Amino acid sequence: MGPLSIFLVLIFLLSMWRAFLMWHAFGSLMVLSLFCLGGRILFWNHIILFAKECWMWRYHQTRGKHIRSFRNSSEIDFIGFFLFGAVGDALALGVEMVNATRMQTLMNDIRSGYFSVRTGKYAINYVAGQYSDDTEQTLSNAKALIHLTDGSADDLLQFACAEYDQSVSWWHQYGRQGHGSIKAYLENRSPDVLSKIREKNANGPPGNAPIMRGALLGFIKNPIDLRRITFANADMTHPHPTARFASYGIAIAVHGLIVSREVTRPHIIKYVCENFEAIKPYLHTQPEHVCLAIMSDWLARINEEPAPTREGDYLHIDRKVLVDNPNGLGADALTTLGAVLYFVKHLDPKSPWTTFENCVLLGGDVDTLASVVMSIAGAQGLIDWINFSNWPRWTIDGLEGVDYICEIATQFEHWFYKQ
């Protein structure tokens, strides 16, 4: 047997091995080309294709191992943070502000796919799988940090406006759902409108917008910058002490759990209260001290609440104690921070989907709650988005802007390690 024959036999065996492993049509084409008289061009084309395919196969095998080792290492899962924050937001957006009693009847629909009961103006240009202003402004805050702005309230607002404008171009001149009181400014950019909105929100009670976009700020490593920018995050729309402390509280929770890793989930509420005590020397007015004391007392009371339990789709939980409303979570800063930290404390690491369902079953403003809790679960690597062993794959397939979100997540990861 001559060298050429040996070479052809080897190519034949390699292509059969390739076809067997990857069920690829290339293997059968290679076999045919070997027996085609005068098929030298086809033969050499297959040699090149075979080499390329082998390299790509090895690349994907290596990439898969890298992702698995990444997920099992001490590193932060940034894609998990952004992606599942958006998933929690989009899944719960369709049932936002549904009361707790009705929510029980909708759970089978929620488990089956992206689902909505939105009507009227709340359904304009809305499609199931669309994320809300929660994710939109999380992404805008990420871009503000990536572009190394000074993190002032006006800087953060500028990036929020740009992200809103992009959503308007995507969603037929209306923009996505949400935005609360700031939407009036986003629509016309009048400084007078912005001043009136901030003046009204400064007198309280503040909404939960600083929390919905504030978890991301926990990745700021410098503690002085973290406090300054989280306060600015609140002042962007809600210049109220309670809003500032809520923004700082969710950020310091993310920082302690994911960045410094100096606290575990069961102790997260106590950890946030201890950090509230640590910032007291930086407060300058009596209202700030009063608001901080109220928030600390509220969290301390929630910390005594037992873990949620389920009986079918009935959630055993004292809503009056947890969120001061038997129908569910309101859109205010104080109760939203408490609810987020409560569900993070009791997050089920083996079944994050169960925790998501518990968030939704609370009722009320569940998209903000689910978004923040699931982003933390994602960042900690608790959601298996490789094999989907503990989370349904359809939640990714039906989500708006997956590639865009992952692109921002990758850029933000680079920013984080360059700090």
What is the SS3 assignment for 160-228? Answer: HHHHHHHHHHHCCCCCCCCCHHHHHHHHHCCHHHHHHHHHHHHCCCCECHHHHCCHHHHHCCCHHHHHH
Q: What is the DSSP annotation of 288-329?
A: HHHHHHHHHHHHHHHHTSPPPEEETTEEE--HHHHTS-TT-B
We report the CATH number of the domain holding residue 287 as 1.10.4080.10
Q: Same structural domain for residues 56 and 87?
A: no
Calculate mean pLDDT across residues 388-402.
96
Q: Same structural domain for residues 152 and 42?
A: no
Q: Same structural domain for residues 48 and 90?
A: no
Domain end point (choices 48, 68, 88):
68
Domain region containing 364:
76-418
Q: Same structural domain for residues 214 and 313?
A: yes
pLDDT of residue 176: 82
pLDDT of residue 134: 96
Q: Same structural domain for residues 217 and 266?
A: yes
Q: Same structural domain for residues 271 and 132?
A: yes
pLDDT of residue 401: 94
Instruction: Look at 20 and 223; give whichever has higher pLDDT.
Output: 223
pLDDT of residue 331: 94
Cα(339)–Cα(320) distance, integer angstroms: 12
Q: pTM of the prediction?
A: 0.83
Instruction: Look at 315 and 45; give whichever has higher pLDDT.
Output: 315
Examine the pLDDT at 343 and tell me if it is beyond 80: yes
Nearest to 405 by CA among 217, 135, 157: 135
Q: What percentage of the chain reaches a pLDDT higher than 90? A: 75
Domains of the chain: total: 2
Q: Same structural domain for residues 17 and 129?
A: no
Q: Same structural domain for residues 145 and 171?
A: yes
How does DSSP classify residue 97? T
Q: Same structural domain for residues 60 and 103?
A: no
Q: Same structural domain for residues 25 and 92?
A: no
Q: Same structural domain for residues 80 and 44?
A: no
Domain end point (choices 22, 38, 68):
68
Supply φ then ψ for residue 314, to 5 degrees: -100, 125
Q: Which amino acid is at 85?
A: G
Q: Same structural domain for residues 225 and 319?
A: yes
Residue 63: pLDDT band (50, 70, 90) is very low
Q: Can you list the alpha helix ranges (DSSP code H) found in 73-173?
A: 78-93, 100-112, 133-146, 153-170
Q: Which residue has the tokens 């055993």?
A: 316
Calculate mean pLDDT across residues 397-416.
96
Cβ–Cβ under 8 Å, residues 142 and 216: yes
pLDDT of residue 40: 46
Domain end point (choices 42, 68, 94):
68
Residue 4: pLDDT band (50, 70, 90) is low
Residue 291: pLDDT band (50, 70, 90) is very high
pLDDT of residue 74: 47
